[in-house]
Structure 1
Amino acid sequence: MPQGKAAVIRSDLDIVIARTLARDTAKNMGFGAIDQARIAIAVSELARNIFLYAGTGTVTVREIERTGRRGIEIVCEDQGPGIANIDIVMQDGYSTSRGMGMGLPGAKRLMDEFEIRSQEGVGTTITCRKWRM
């Protein structure tokens, strides 16, 4: 499997670039239009969080295979302030920005697997995957 392609997030435009990278990868892998949209929306939300809360970071998109199944993996990494309480930010309706985004719980619902690792003062890594049916 390829190593993946990364988008550096530093601006609003970079969020669009990351979203397009994820959608194009999913399309090339044969994901249907609905799953392509789900993946793109999740990546938009995660990249926006990098920009808003950490200022800069990366979104890496790669094809993966596990037990004969193909999927897409997105790894979002930053060296921002970290998340003090992951349980709170994973509650529906929680927002620190008062934005209209769906937040991390919404991004999680759009993907098949979703993991957060975060340490205050060090940064956050979110890994999510969508499997082809």
Structure 2
Amino acid sequence: MKIMIVEDEALLALELEYEVEAAGHSVVGTAASRKAAFEMISQTAPEFAFVDVHLNDGPTGIEIGEHLSELGIPFVFVTGNIKRIPPGFVGAIGAIEKPYTMHGLKNALTYIGDWVAKGETNSPPAGLILAE
């Protein structure tokens, strides 16, 4: 799966990239702002995205999520404050709350990979909050 990471904290972005690649997926790029994310979406056609809600240019992760949803690209919010996500999660599969563990992230990535590939999965792992 080709995955885009939208995260403004460099260390978190690198850790997430490492876990994504260790799970056998490829990272098409990392963006730290709305502008960079929109450019990356149009240039790389990701199959999935991890999106932080609050980026270098403010809480623009919501706008990025709306854009991904309009394009039919599945995504998950990764945020330190779930309450910042609007009702309905603007089309996201769900959210992973920071701080997360690498084990929890691996389980969430496996679940998400199955969901994207098959459209169906078992119960979500701990740490992954599904949109209602």
Give your verdict on TM over 0.5. Answer: no
Q: Which has the higher helix share?
A: 2
Structure showing greater radius of gyration is 1
Structure with the higher strand share, 1 or 2 = 1
Higher relative contact order (CA 8 A, sep 6+): 1
